[in-house]
Amino acid sequence: MNFSVLSSEKSRIRKEKEKQREDIIKGLPSFINQLLLLMDTGLIITEAFRRIAREYERLPPEQSSYFTSSVAEILENSEKSGENVLNGFYAFAGRSDVKELIRTANFLYENKNRGTEIWDRLSDLADDLWEERKHLCMERIKVSETRMSFPLGIMLISLLLMTSAPALMQIR
């Protein structure tokens, strides 16, 4: 009994972590694009991060994801503690264990004092993240195609049986 409860709990935690990972991968490219747009207007990274996080705080719960709520929480914690938001983002990336987020957080953390001159490199990073997101979607499509091939095969066999059954009955 205890083993099944433990197993189902592990399965639930694994599914939750996978959903969080997908939310991060889904939200990160648009977050970087928002950073780029705000930096293009002349804002520094930390101020652009703050503006994006404030907008994420205003999202209704049904539109909010794990990533957006985490970014808003990072801002809230940094305002309470007086810590730089990029330090909080860096710590969040380390806890999340998502390589794309870790790479982005490292880049932002290392270049937080460079201002708007990192725009080109950040743009390249955003393009890479969009490609990763597209790759993830293609993988999901392939998995769904594979899952649908078995029911399709069963339907084909049943159609063959239904169409051949009358002919087989007339042979007798």
pLDDT in tens, 8-66: 788 888 888 888 888 888 888 889 999 988 988 888 888 989 999 999 999 898 888 99
Residue 59, domain member (yes or no): yes
Phi, psi at residue 41, to the nearest 5°? -85, -5
Distance of alpha carbon 141 from alpha carbon 10, whole angstroms:
26
Residue 56, domain member (yes or no): yes
Residue 134, domain member (yes or no): no
What pLDDT is attached to residue 5? 64
E strand or H helix at 103: helix 99-110
The residue ranking higher by pLDDT, 133 or 5, is: 133
Q: How far is CA 20 from CA 31, 152, 172, in A?
A: 16, 32, 61
Residue range 118-140: mean pLDDT, rounded: 82
Residue 130, domain member (yes or no): no
What pLDDT is attached to residue 112? 73
Q: Which domain holds residue 44?
A: 2-125
Q: How many domains does the chain have?
A: 1
Residue 148, domain member (yes or no): no
Please give the distance of CA 36 from its chain centroid, rounded to a whole number. 19
Indicate the DSSP class of residue 49: H
State the pTM of this model. 0.72
Contact 68, 58 (CB under 8 A): no
Residue 133, domain member (yes or no): no
Please give the distance of CA 37 from its chain centroid, rounded to a whole number. 21
Residue 7, domain member (yes or no): yes
CB-based contacts of 37, cutoff 8 Å, min separation 6: none
The residue among 106, 46, 111 whose CA lies nearest residue 120 is: 111
Alpha helices (H) along 41-81 = 45-57, 66-81
Residue 147, domain member (yes or no): no
Confidence tier at 117 by pLDDT (50, 70, 90): low
Average pLDDT, the chain: 85
